[in-house]
Structure 1
């Protein structure tokens, strides 16, 4: 590798914090980041404890993770506004690892996952994450949501039972056997917590609903002396000292057994962090460094493990909260981690009174949000192959194993794709997936075609199947224009097939056009794309989206929308 290539390679891993500071950072920036950091810390405080308890460990482990990993992800990451910490996606795999191998086994898993993420980033595999089929992600996420929901029934109802079984069916059988031990006080606190969260979301969406619900339930529990289990009664008091660098016994002899779980943790951390970074980019109009983000996630997981924490990744909800609160640089995430440390040290004596039923209610809401039921139904309306992948991934995630669900989902997606390509190979042979010329070869000279475009109109053509492996090609189309056009024509005459990811990419393109006040015109849809787009409810909308039969009609429409002077 020559010096120029080496510099280009190293630029992939420059933290966004360095970029921000080199651009200039003043008191106004610090004030905005401090407000955002405080807001996110208030949201993250109850979540970190709830996630740790649901994972089968003590609440301070979640706080250590949010503090150590959250700071490192912001300081070293490739996104300006990413907030890192423990997330609900890890609960099923972490719970099983702790049950089978103890907390030392989880530490080893997290260390291995961190090293895998660092390796993936250095090998520049971050760009491959965008090729993950949408039905796999949707089914996997919904399956995890169901697992989280089922794991909270014990605390939500206050059942008197031993350790909750890891297996989904065994867990519900155990609940049924102990249903007679339901504690009315716990049920009441769960309902109060849910009611408070829902009311705040409806009437005061800017308020920290999770924290307020915990405060209300804690006050009720203490004031009325309710016989409901609390953090203190189950775990004792929370530590009021700094996280200590202390590695517990690690069963290195069981490394081979732990590799599948380590891979699952690394996969979850990589996918969720990059999805969160993409969402953040859309909110702030930025662009993250995917490979640098993976390296930062790896370092953060190693750091979290060495301080006795849990696996960590970018948290979409907390990242969105950070952006809405005014955070625009990684300093906001670092402040969030520092304030969590302050909260832990200052509030540790009070946290022991928090009812576990209230924390269970928090996670029930998290599970509901994570399930994305409407998106699940929407994906089911896609072609049968996508629906099969969705349901198979969902079922395997709930009833079997997360690693198996990922592997089978990807394999079946590949077979579905190959089946579709077999039908389309005659049409698509030798044709580029995306042709940036304004016209196809049969329409004549490109220059003369572009000369016919009215001012403020741009045109691109897609050639070939728009499937999960090519859908990301639409992501950067609008970024190629120095000045955004008023009308954007997307020619799809040479697109023989489209799948759920392709329709999702079109919807994302449409949303970006809406934000920039660009009218999107799609021309020349073939029967299969036309049928799938109609099935998945992507309909024309006056002034925003039009479908026309051919390119000449698109030109005529653009003349009406952008008349020449």
Structure 2
């Protein structure tokens, strides 16, 4: 009965509740203003990310509306703003290139199911195991890729027929560009960038991307400049529906969907953690956040959208604009819906080059020199992990980069941990006695694990003594490899005629040492001691007996 109640309580913690809107009576004005502000910021980004991913501006806008609304209601953060993001574009673009834009709907639903399942399985805290240099490295790599992906629009060249790698594709586009025809879209990009940078410096409260889009799009439309535009947009949301089931395509998309799900979970939880640190807006339920983001991607797929994640930049704008409850994110989604219903024809005339300028500035801000300096100051290992992760992200694949980055971070962490471990020979306590030089007293401290076991064992085994006393009370960590190596060392020392005494086995290590034969390898059960003095006294008595019998 208690177990059933516990499970029911755990399930309720993942569902919307009245407490989600506690304090709304005091904060509704601030929430409304924040929602409008972040909606204005999100509009050009949603359009740009949809275009850049290859599925079109409509899909980006639909995702921002549907996923933004569902994640706001069902997510685990009170102020998270969700929608299409640059990191997701990086993953989706190769999928579109390989399987077509229609495949994104399948990927969105499949990835959403995986992320929601992760929330139900309580895997929300797993992101805390990703090291900070890895996160910063893959963020910088994503910024480079997003920037390079905008080169075709910035130069007025189509992306069809170019390599899937962003670096190679950008180089091909530059080579194929026609001059001076490329100057016009390049000028639009430059104008957007200048406006955004100037407003960001002198008027940071003004949504620079929105203002830049307006100031570039209006003259382009009035002068009828030959710039490629977004094109026709629907004046309503598409009807929801399931795509036709294609088992062969679903099988082919299983791997990409898993990669998308991993990215969605990581980015959403990181964004929510950032939001929680910016202001006192309530706690974060990581498992509920995963469930909400999974449902958001599923819903976006039903409406023909793309996978969604929590968006760090838009969430930060939301918090800094005064948001305190989920109403702000809901208002943001409703404002974007109003754009579709009222201003679709106006939005359709936005030049693609202007959107490219927005994304180029956004990408440049993701590659932070100050962040790299902080990483570099934290040590060579952190800088190496950062650079490796960033390089693999740009050159190969984002998810592979995270895996390699974690592996590199683990390697450096284990190396550092192994260096804190040591086996030190000590003088015997008390007044010296004849035969003390035939006794080796060793203090083993730190960690006896697979990364350090062999070195520590070699340090003890190289001494030619008749009695070995191992002090293990300073040992903080022992894994199976370390315990096994310790047992093999005890056996080897006993076989060559040395007597091994062990002192100070900690209670948490006793079971493992017993199971792997360390204690059983001792010549006699009495060779296990709790205190040092009796162990040394026994070692000296053993030397005296050996001397007397000689």
Asked if these proteins are the same fold (TM beyond 0.5), I'd say: yes
Q: Spell out the pairing of 1:439-518 with structure 2 (5 A cutoff).
A: none
For the 8 Å contact 1:108–1:251, the answer to whether it is kept is no
Change in CA separation of 1:122 and 1:58 when aligned onto 2, cut-off 3 Å: same
Query: How far 1:349 sits from its partner (Å)?
Result: 0.9
Alignment correspondent of 1:412: 408
Query: How far 1:57 sits from its partner (Å)?
Result: 1.8
Using the alignment, how far apart are the partners of 2:295 and 2:380 within structure 1?
Answer: 41
- CA RMSD between the two structures: 2.1
Q: Which residue, out of 356, 360, 379, partners 2:356?
A: 360
Secondary structure at 1:231 match in 2? coil
Q: 254-263 vs 289-298, which deviates more? A: 254-263
Q: Which residue, out of 66, 91, 96, partners 1:98?
A: 96
Query: How far 1:276 sits from its partner (Å)?
Result: 1.2
Q: Which residue, out of 279, 289, 293, partners 1:293?
A: 289
Change in CA separation of 1:348 and 1:374 when aligned onto 2, cut-off 3 Å: same
Using the alignment, how far apart are the partners of 1:417 and 1:400 within structure 2?
Answer: 25
Using the alignment, how far apart are the partners of 1:24 and 1:333 within structure 2?
Answer: 16
Using the alignment, how far apart are the partners of 1:160 and 1:91 within structure 2?
Answer: 17
Alignment correspondent of 2:191: 192
Change in CA separation of 1:305 and 1:245 when aligned onto 2, cut-off 3 Å: same
Q: Which residue, out of 176, 179, 204, partners 2:177?
A: 179
> CA-to-partner distance for each residue in 1:235-284, whole Å, 9 max, x for gaps?
xx111012321334454313343233212211211111111111111122
Q: Spell out the pairing of 1:203-218 with structure 2 (5 A cutoff).
A: 203-218=202-217
> CA-to-partner distance for each residue in 1:299-344, whole Å, 9 max, x for gaps?
1111111111011011111111111222100111111111110111
Q: Which residue, out of 113, 134, 137, partners 1:136?
A: 134
Change in CA separation of 1:144 and 1:24 when aligned onto 2, cut-off 3 Å: closer
Query: How far 1:4 sits from its partner (Å)?
Result: 4.5
Using the alignment, how far apart are the partners of 2:145 and 2:28 within structure 1?
Answer: 40
Query: How far 1:418 sits from its partner (Å)?
Result: 2.2
Alignment correspondent of 1:229: 228
Alignment correspondent of 1:282: 277
Q: Which residue, out of 87, 90, 112, partners 1:89?
A: 87
Secondary structure at 2:100 match in 1? helix
Change in CA separation of 1:135 and 1:24 when aligned onto 2, cut-off 3 Å: closer
Q: 34-43 vs 386-395, which deviates more? A: 386-395
Change in CA separation of 1:122 and 1:239 when aligned onto 2, cut-off 3 Å: same
Query: How far 1:291 sits from its partner (Å)?
Result: 0.5
Q: How many residues align?
A: 426
Query: How far 1:149 sits from its partner (Å)?
Result: 0.4
Is structure 2 residue 367 aligned with structure 1 residue 371? yes
Change in CA separation of 1:164 and 1:133 when aligned onto 2, cut-off 3 Å: same
Change in CA separation of 1:251 and 1:424 when aligned onto 2, cut-off 3 Å: farther
Alignment correspondent of 2:252: 257
For the 8 Å contact 1:74–1:333, the answer to whether it is kept is yes
> CA-to-partner distance for each residue in 1:352-403, whole Å, 9 max, x for gaps?
2211111000000110122223212321333333222222211111011122
Is structure 2 residue 400 aligned with structure 1 residue 399? no
Change in CA separation of 1:161 and 1:415 when aligned onto 2, cut-off 3 Å: closer
Query: How far 1:11 sits from its partner (Å)?
Result: 4.6
Q: 54-63 vs 157-166, which deviates more? A: 157-166
Is structure 2 residue 11 aligned with structure 1 residue 13? no
For the 8 Å contact 1:43–1:208, the answer to whether it is kept is yes
Using the alignment, how far apart are the partners of 1:353 and 1:98 within structure 2?
Answer: 24
> CA-to-partner distance for each residue in 1:43-84, whole Å, 9 max, x for gaps?
111110001011112101001000000001110111111111
Secondary structure at 1:156 match in 2? helix
Alignment correspondent of 1:304: 300
For the 8 Å contact 1:183–1:228, the answer to whether it is kept is no
Using the alignment, how far apart are the partners of 1:363 and 1:464 within structure 2?
Answer: 49
Q: Which residue, out of 33, 37, 40, partners 2:38?
A: 40
Change in CA separation of 1:161 and 1:38 when aligned onto 2, cut-off 3 Å: closer
Alignment correspondent of 2:267: 272
Secondary structure at 2:136 match in 1? helix
Alignment correspondent of 1:531: none
Using the alignment, how far apart are the partners of 1:223 and 1:88 within structure 2?
Answer: 31
Using the alignment, how far apart are the partners of 2:421 and 2:126 within structure 1?
Answer: 24
For the 8 Å contact 1:108–1:252, the answer to whether it is kept is no
TM-score, structure 2 as length reference: 0.74
Unaligned runs of 5+ in 1: 431-462, 466-565
For the 8 Å contact 1:104–1:250, the answer to whether it is kept is no
Alignment correspondent of 2:452: none
Is structure 2 residue 48 aligned with structure 1 residue 50? yes
For the 8 Å contact 2:108–2:257, the answer to whether it is kept is yes
Alignment correspondent of 1:62: 60
Secondary structure at 1:243 match in 2? coil
For the 8 Å contact 1:108–1:250, the answer to whether it is kept is no
Query: How far 1:163 sits from its partner (Å)?
Result: 4.6
Q: 268-277 vs 182-191, which deviates more? A: 182-191
Using the alignment, how far apart are the partners of 2:307 and 2:14 within structure 1?
Answer: 21
Using the alignment, how far apart are the partners of 1:173 and 1:46 within structure 2?
Answer: 26
Q: 161-170 vs 127-136, which deviates more? A: 161-170
Change in CA separation of 1:250 and 1:202 when aligned onto 2, cut-off 3 Å: farther
Using the alignment, how far apart are the partners of 1:196 and 1:98 within structure 2?
Answer: 32
Using the alignment, how far apart are the partners of 1:117 and 1:171 within structure 2?
Answer: 31
Query: How far 1:8 sits from its partner (Å)?
Result: 4.4
Alignment correspondent of 2:117: 119
Is structure 2 residue 319 aligned with structure 1 residue 323? yes
Unaligned runs of 5+ in 2: 423-444, 449-474, 478-550
Change in CA separation of 1:104 and 1:334 when aligned onto 2, cut-off 3 Å: same
For the 8 Å contact 1:230–1:354, the answer to whether it is kept is yes
Alignment correspondent of 1:459: none
